[in-house]
Amino acid sequence: MLKLIKLFTGKNVDFSSKMGSMAIFLLFVLVISFLLSSKFLSQDLLENGVGKKKIVAKKNIEVIDVQKTELLRRDMARKIKPIIIPTDTLAIQNSFYAFKENIMRIKTSDLDRQSQYIEFSNLFDITNAEKKEQVVNFALKATKQNLNAILTSADIVLNKYLKQGLQDGEIETYTNEERIKELLGANLTSNQLAMISGVLECVIFPNLVIDDYATEVARKNAKSSVKPYTVKFKKGEMILKPGEILTQVKRDALRKSGYSLLEINKSGVFGIFLFTFLCGSCLVFYVKYKEKKYDDPRYYMILGLLSILLTFACVGISANNETSNYLMPIPAFTIIMAIFTTPALAFVATIIFIALISATLFLEPQFITIFVFAALASVFFVSKISYSRRQDLIKCGLWTGVVMGIFILSVSIFEDQLSFNAVKDSLKVASCALLNGLFSGAFPLGIIPIFESIFKAVTPYGLIELADHNSPLLSKLQYKAPGTYHHSLMVANLCEAAAEAIGADPILARVGAFYHDIGKLQKPLFFIENQSYFGVENPHNKLNPRLSKMVIISHAKDGVEIAKKNGLPQEIINFIQQHHGEALAGHFYNQAVQLEGKENVQQEQFRYPGPKPNMKETAILMLADAVESAVRSLKNPTQEEIENMINKIITERLNDGQLSDSPLTLKDIKLIAITFNRILRGMQHDRVKYQQGIMNELQNNKIVLGQSEEEKLEKKIQKKIENNEAKTQENKENKEDNGNKDSN
């Protein structure tokens, strides 16, 4: 990448500078924009909606004529008449019974004939005056029994009408005397028929209304019964001619043939570039303000290259009509990013990428939904894997594929695609999703080591490999500086436990602790933890404090050089550089003060060059390194002495400002102190002297055992002692042999 930039610009680009970072960002945006635009630029088929080329079907194609289908469905819906239902039936019946009661009340009243005539005239609201007069006179002259019988006949007719429903505009037909006579099937006089007709005219009204819901359902059912109108293009048949206007049917046929019909020009290409630039800027903004740890050119390069590879794959898959879009390896992108960074950052990057390709490649909404849930599944399963077993990545990919398949089937059910062919197609797509998941789990296994090697970016897998005690540096530390090696192991235990307690990265903290003192390999005998092992005199007794200070402080600088020479990632180098921060080499400072006087010695001359810890993990290491050394210097410390020493060391580092650049909170520091206290108590427990214990066992058993049993026990214990001595001698010889091989 650097060579390509130098080739085009003629200059070396510093990625750590703002200009260098912007240059590489624009380069990635240009490459991704070109890939997204290539699908459209390579197929110049249309100009203002008119065909420019002759296009022939390369296979049998069947497309749905959406417009014709919609017309047929509308015609079928129009044929459905409105569905009418009866209503207010009870109201009409109640009106009739009330009217009947009024008639009988007037008939049975003590009013004179003239008053009854007036009452009946007011009661019967009949438009035809002649008919009204006939009805009133009948009511006056008829007996109570005859009038009641006529009203009962009217009730019978009314009930028959109510069963059929009373439509608006047909009231006159319901009061027609001939129709009433036909319904009753009895010989009635004209006055009786007029009475029944008059009563009905006063009480009935339309009770049929249109049921809009039922009518709409019926019309929808009628529409759905119409099968889609399809148009077929046989292989070799012409789809589009030069100069022909592109219809929707031909547009769909061309799309099924794999052609893109977007009429894209220079402004369209610029639009894709601008959209890609905005998406990339959003991701960079998120990293800078939410994931500052990964605001590093190495991780931007990894993100950029992964985005280019994924874009290339997505464009290729979308251009091939025979390939399902659900084969796009987006979960692989999510898994790799989650391993190199964090699940949260990986999810955000995936969502932004899904938005980019779905908008520029015009993918369906279901695609966006399913891949969003696939991204969620990917980051969840990645967070649960064990980094000591690489095959867990395969399981992670497979489970992601299963989740995709389940959502694909659920979307099919949601869209009511329960026919045999629809279910068959859904299962086929779901199998593509499962295959995608399998690939997404296997692909990271190959690409992660390559990216780790190229960009020197650390992953949990790389950390597990660095934690192997048979690695060259740790093996050399074990034999050349065994005291330092043992100290590093103790510090690693403290760091791992403390990091886990405060939510930091325990694997990174442990591995960083393993390597933090590799600079002591340059001069191992100048460090007290190695002097007792080799049985040598402390060389600092013969050196000036200033010279001793230079030797001790230089182990951080020497460690960085050794780390770079052996290809250790920058994350581990940070531990080497920062584990002392700018702390004071107090022992040699005090010696210098005694020799030269306080006014002649400046503290800055006896401080480590730094930098101060700027990560939680390196800050934990600074405290663990100092605490372990201090507690080890105590002879048979009590629990209270251990706790006091831990608090003293932490307080000194805080007061000296060594934690000012770290993100540790006071709550974190309190948890770290508690964790250190718990671990160190376990390390400092009293140990049994096994040889002496065996002899004590022998002496005690002599009292209760006979001579023969005593002799057997003595032989048994003696054999144990000899076996222990033999193992000890064998281990010593093996160490000496390995040391000789290393020196050779």
pLDDT at 172 > cutoff 80:
no
pLDDT 10s digits, 132-160: 888 888 888 888 888 888 888 888 888 88
If you search the block for the tokens 């007029």, which residue do you land on? 194
Radius of gyration of the chain (CA): 47
d(CA 439, CA 413): 27
d(CA 647, CA 663): 19
Q: Which residue has the higher pLDDT, 492 or 364?
A: 492
* Mean pLDDT (the chain, rounded): 80
Q: Which percentage of the chain shows pLDDT scores above 90?
A: 25
Confidence bin at 669 (pLDDT 50/70/90): very high
pLDDT of residue 460: 87
Lowest-confidence segment of 12-26, 114-128, 240-254, 495-509 by average pLDDT: 12-26
Which residue, among 412, 401, 338, has the nearest Cα to 371 in the 3D structure? 401
- Burial profile 679-714: b = 16 or more Cβ within 10 angstroms, e = fewer: bbeeebeeeeeeeeeeeeebeeeeeeeeeeeeeeee
pLDDT 10s digits, 448-494: 989 988 888 888 888 888 888 888 899 999 888 888 999 999 999 99
pLDDT of residue 513: 94
Q: Count the Cβ atoms, other than its own, within 10 Å of residue 58.
A: 12
Confidence bin at 697 (pLDDT 50/70/90): very low
SS3 52: coil
pLDDT of residue 335: 94
Q: Which residue has the higher pLDDT, 679 or 174?
A: 679
d(CA 14, CA 12): 7
pLDDT at 4 > cutoff 50:
no
pLDDT 10s digits, 412-425: 776 655 556 566 77
Amino acid at 29: V
Largest CA distance in the chain: 151
pLDDT 10s digits, 69-124: 888 888 888 888 877 777 667 787 888 888 888 888 888 888 888 888 888 888 88
Task: Compute the average pLDDT of residues 617-630.
Answer: 93
The DSSP string of 476-543 is HHHHH-HHHHHHHHHHHHHHHHHHHHHTS-HHHHHHHHHHTTGGGGSSGGGSHHHHHHHT---GGGGS
d(CA 703, CA 697): 11
Task: Compute the average pLDDT of residues 541-564.
Answer: 88
Task: Compute the average pLDDT of residues 618-628.
Answer: 94
d(CA 518, CA 538): 20
**DSSP structure class, residue 546:** H
pLDDT of residue 739: 46
458, 508 Cβ separation under 8 angstroms: yes
- Read off the tokens for 23: 């240059």
Cβ-in-10-Å burial (0-12, 13-18, 19+) of 727 comes to: exposed
Q: Which of 183-192, 232-241, 255-264 has the highest mean pLDDT?
A: 183-192
**Distances from the Cα of 427 to the Cαs of 105, 366, 416, 431, 440, in angstroms?**
78, 15, 15, 6, 20
Confidence bin at 171 (pLDDT 50/70/90): low
410, 380 Cβ separation under 8 angstroms: no
pLDDT at 16 > cutoff 70:
no
Q: Which residue has the higher pLDDT, 459 or 705?
A: 459
pLDDT at 13 > cutoff 50:
no
Which residue, among 232, 184, 314, has the nearest Cα to 60 in the 3D structure? 232
Lowest-confidence segment of 15-24, 254-263, 435-444 by average pLDDT: 254-263
pLDDT at 730 > cutoff 70:
no
SS3 238: strand
181, 193 Cβ separation under 8 angstroms: yes
Q: Which of 78-92, 300-314, 359-373 has the highest mean pLDDT?
A: 300-314
Confidence bin at 621 (pLDDT 50/70/90): very high
pLDDT of residue 12: 45
If you search the block for the tokens 């019964």, which residue do you land on? 225
Beta bridge partners of 208: 86
The size of the chain, in residues, is 744
pLDDT of residue 82: 78
Q: Which of 61-75, 205-219, 436-450, 589-603 has the highest mean pLDDT?
A: 436-450
- Read off the tokens for 645: 């020493």
Q: Which of 130-139, 182-191, 309-318, 735-744 has the highest mean pLDDT?
A: 309-318
pLDDT at 661 > cutoff 70:
yes
pLDDT of residue 677: 92
pLDDT of residue 2: 44
Confidence bin at 379 (pLDDT 50/70/90): very high
Q: Which residue has the higher pLDDT, 695 or 575?
A: 575
**Distances from the Cα of 561 to the Cαs of 314, 557, 558, 606, in angstroms?**
43, 7, 5, 21
pLDDT of residue 243: 62
Q: Which of 214-223, 379-388, 511-520 has the highest mean pLDDT?
A: 511-520
pLDDT of residue 91: 80
220, 33 Cβ separation under 8 angstroms: no
Q: Which percentage of the chain shows pLDDT scores above 70?
A: 80
Q: Which residue has the higher pLDDT, 679 or 724?
A: 679
**Distances from the Cα of 315 to the Cαs of 221, 261, 272, 336, in angstroms?**
40, 15, 14, 20
Q: Which residue has the higher pLDDT, 386 or 624?
A: 624
Q: Which residue has the higher pLDDT, 600 or 169?
A: 600
Which residue, among 129, 136, 124, 131, has the nearest Cα to 99 in the 3D structure? 124
Confidence bin at 653 (pLDDT 50/70/90): very high
pLDDT at 234 > cutoff 90:
no
Note if the pTM is more than 0.85. no
d(CA 693, CA 638): 24
pLDDT of residue 127: 81
